């Protein structure tokens, strides 16, 4: 699943491809969205914004499309004519004269009035976004010591979008390693310096990953963005079980925590 940095790449890509140009074709596979196909034609996308792992596609008629890809959804950025049959139709198809993008499989696709978005149940629950330039480390030092987060294990907490929006599985391993914290510690057990290290790592690792994005040819689909991240961002511990820790003579180990693979160095992380 794309994490915060990859969701931001997708938003950047959709903005480059589609924003500011009149839409020549709009298709939705969900019956409740069909009525928007005609009314959006001729209007333009004003901005595509990543919020955590959700994407908000704003239109110049006061509507915003909310999409969340979850595990399997992906964007195809190639200009293809959408199939006519309802079964083959992507969840979302948006085209201008020069470009097109299609969202496949995503389980969450909803149209909202832009002015009502603050009431969206998923968006309203999101914690500070690790890639929002306005968010600072102080937002997280206080948060990790506060209810309801302080008693949760860090391995669990760092996947929870209500704690830190945009976090995901590779970021969890890399953030804990950067902060030198063991995954089964809880927020309440952290001293002031440890809480600061965690807060700094949450922002630094995510922002470094985002900045490391592809320099070469752009992928044809968002499925390739995670593979790109693995190549360009260079994980220190994630998927490096059995390799030497970059900081000590110990070996990286893998454990399943909160049902996901977590990689860490038991020597460096305390």
Positions marked active-site: 2-3, 53, 260
Residue, CB closest to Zn ion: 245
Pick the stretch among 64-72, 136-144, 198-206, 247-255 that binds Zn ion (CB under 5 A): 247-255
**Residue 265 touching Zn ion (CB under 5 A):** yes
What does each C-alpha distance from 155 to 20, 58, 206 come to in angstroms?
A: 41, 34, 16
Q: Whose Cβ is closer to Zn ion: residue 1's or residue 268's?
A: 268
**Residue 248 touching Zn ion (CB under 5 A):** yes
Q: Structure tokens of 54?
A: 């959700």
Distance CA 227, CA 49 (A): 22
Rounded CA Rg of the chain = 20
> 268, 266, 246: which is closest to 254 by C-alpha?
266
Q: Whose Cβ is closer to Zn ion: residue 257's or residue 265's?
A: 265
Q: How far is the CB of 237 from Zn ion (least distance, A)?
A: 9
Pick the stretch among 116-124, 125-133, 170-178, 250-258 that binds Zn ion (CB under 5 A): 250-258
Q: Whose Cβ is closer to Zn ion: residue 55's or residue 154's?
A: 154
CB 222 within 8 A of CB 2: yes
**Residue 267 touching Zn ion (CB under 5 A):** yes
- What b-and-e string marks burial along 111-149, b requiring 16 or more CB atoms within 10 Å of the CB? bbeeeeeeebebbeebbbbbbbeebebebbbebbeeeeb
Q: Whose Cβ is closer to Zn ion: residue 84's or residue 249's?
A: 249
Distance CA 202, CA 218 (A): 27
**Residue 245 touching Zn ion (CB under 5 A):** yes
Q: 76 Cβ partners below 8 Å, 6+ apart?
A: 90, 101, 102, 103, 104, 220, 221, 222
Pick the stretch among 113-121, 133-141, 187-195, 262-270 that binds Zn ion (CB under 5 A): 262-270
Q: Whose Cβ is closer to Zn ion: residue 63's or residue 268's?
A: 268
**Residue 250 touching Zn ion (CB under 5 A):** yes
Pick the stretch among 51-59, 140-148, 203-211, 245-253 that binds Zn ion (CB under 5 A): 245-253
**Residue 268 touching Zn ion (CB under 5 A):** yes
Where on the chain is the footprint of Zn ion (CB under 5 A)?
245, 247-248, 250, 265, 267-268
């Amino acid at each position: 699943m794309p994490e915060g940095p990859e969701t931001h790449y997708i938003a950047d890509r959709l903005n480059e491809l589609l924003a500011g140009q009149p839409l020549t074709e709009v298709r939705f596979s969900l019956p409740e969205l069909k009525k928007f196909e005609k009314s959006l034609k001729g209007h333009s996308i004003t901005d595509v914004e990543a919020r955590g792992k959700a994407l908000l596609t704003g239109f110049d008629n006061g509507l915003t499309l909310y999409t969340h890809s979850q595990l399997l959804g992906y964007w195809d950025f190639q200009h293809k004519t959408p199939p006519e049959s309802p079964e083959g139709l992507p969840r979302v198809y948006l085209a201008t004269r020069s470009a097109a993008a299609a969202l496949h499989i995503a389980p969450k696709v909803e149209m909202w009035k832009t002015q009502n978005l603050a009431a969206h149940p998923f968006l309203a629950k999101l914690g500070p976004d690790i890639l929002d330039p306005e968010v600072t480390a102080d937002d997280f030092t206080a948060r990790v010591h506060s209810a309801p987060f302080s008693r949760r294990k860090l391995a669990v907490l760092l996947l929870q979008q209500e704690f830190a929006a945009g976090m995901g599985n590779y970021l969890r391993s890399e953030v804990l390693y950067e902060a030198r914290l063991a995954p089964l510690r809880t927020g309440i057990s952290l001293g002031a310096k440890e809480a600061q290290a965690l807060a700094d790592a949450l922002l630094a690792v995510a922002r470094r990953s985002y900045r490391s994005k592809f320099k070469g040819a752009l992928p044809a689909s968002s499925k390739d963005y995670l593979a790109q991240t693995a190549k360009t961002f260079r994980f220190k511990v994630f998927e490096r079980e059995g390799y030497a820790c970059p900081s000590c003579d110990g070996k990286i180990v893998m454990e399943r925590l909160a049902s996901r693979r977590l990689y860490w160095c038991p020597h460096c992380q305390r």
